[in-house]
Structure 1
Amino acid sequence: MSVMADLSISGEEFVLGTALHTHADVHVELERVVPSSQQVLPFFWAIGTDFETFERDVRGNPNVQSLVALDRIEGRVLYRAEWSEEVESFIHGIAAVGATILEATGDRVWRFRLRFHDHAALSEFHDYCVAHDIRYTLDRVATDIAVEREEFGLTQEQRETLVLAIEEGYFDVPRGVTLTELAAELGVTQQSVSERVRRGTGTVLEAALLEADGNR
């Protein structure tokens, strides 16, 4: 049975995270992907407003060989990056055991949700990190079935945001709270809250409606 693992890692340990961290009001998300040991995460989304500063800072990082904006949609930009050789042993460790990156977000601290084939693969990944002196925090381990039953596959941040949004009346008519107010209470940007609500709501609806129709 496959295993889901939530873990966090500092930007100092996650080199790509350091390369993508800037002072711009931009939040970075990695889409669901199975990393390849030959090519390290060439695509990622940036969400925010100050993309000019973000691009200048990222291109100035010595670990970035090139950065190209592929698509721009409503405050989101899809980028393709070329990194320096051997830039990210952490991602190589994920690739080595065939794990899937389900979600990854962050700036100074990155949070990953990974799917491993089984507990043995998770153990192999841990051994890889120990051997390469990569320090991370394992926040949670659960089977796919347990995660879906407990939280419909939501990330911890999405669940926290949706619960707060419901409690504060965000989904009421009229709304009892704005995204700006939710962002202030959570201590994150309005764009981050918007993304969590949109993605989290979509995940819950997909799990509830498609499973009910027998399409999952």
Structure 2
Amino acid sequence: MATVMEFSSPVEEFPLGTVFENLPEVTVELERLIPHETFIIPYFWVRGAEADDIEAAFEPHAGLVSITLVDGVDDEYLMRAEWKSEYFGLLSALANTNVVVLSGVGTKDGWRFEVRGESREAIGEFRTVCQEHDIRIEITAVHELLPVQDDDYELTEGQREALVLAYERGYFDSPRATSLAELAEELGVTQQSLSERLKRGHRRLIAGALLPR
């Protein structure tokens, strides 16, 4: 059964932690990350900054190629990081064990992650990889993922499958991490069919979760 694990890690264990040396009051929040053998270039938010050049606030790190500012609104900055392929760290351990990052937040006090594996064995493999490469993590919680009560929202299996996959692949993120065409190919359906599934699924979720019964 799918298993969720929460863990913390020291600031210096993750390449983006170098920002806290220059901007100790900021918060860094990762966009949802989907594991892949080569790993995607992730997006992340820096909040609470007052620096004119937010890119320069990140010190050089062995795991980073570059940090690029994508957009900024008030004191929130959307950034993009490109990683060195030869560097093995926390992200590499997640990618190699096919574990999905549900959330990742960093402050000057450390990093907090919530990840999901398809089974307890996947989570165990991730822990083993961390141990083998001296990647420091402290596990704070492990629990099985409870099934969604689809009957409450009257979702069909196809609608639920489409919504979950779109969410996991970052289709609802900004900017999007995948396209409708890629999702449709993965599900083996047409783009039109997938689009209709998503629309009907959204309608039923809104009706079941937000409107009075």
TM-score normalised by length of structure 1 = 0.61
Query: Identity rate of aligned residues, in percent?
Result: 27
Per-residue Cα deviation, 1:114-144 (whole angstroms, up to 9, x for no partner):
0110101011111111211222111001122
Which residue matches 1:20?
19
Which residue matches 1:184?
none
Q: More helix by proportion, 1 or 2?
A: 1
Which residue matches 1:115?
116
CA contact (8 A) 1:16 1:88 kept: no
Say whether 1:127 aligns with 2:122. no
What amino acid maps onto 1:116 in structure 2?
G
1:89 positional shift: 2.0
1:145 counterpart SS class: coil
1:51 positional shift: 3.6
2:90 counterpart SS class: helix
Structure 1 segments, 4+ long, off by >6 Å, are: none
Superposed CA RMSD in Å reads 2.9
Change (3 A) 1:62 1:119: closer
Which residue matches 2:84?
84
Structure 1 alignment gaps of length 5 or more: 149-208
CA contact (8 A) 1:26 1:50 kept: no
What amino acid maps onto 1:20 in structure 2?
V
Change (3 A) 1:33 1:86: same
Moved more, 77-86 or 102-111: 77-86
TM-score normalised by length of structure 2 = 0.62
Aligned length: 153
Whole-angstrom CA distance in 1 between matches of 2:123 and 2:131: 13
1:106 positional shift: 1.1
Which residue matches 1:56?
56
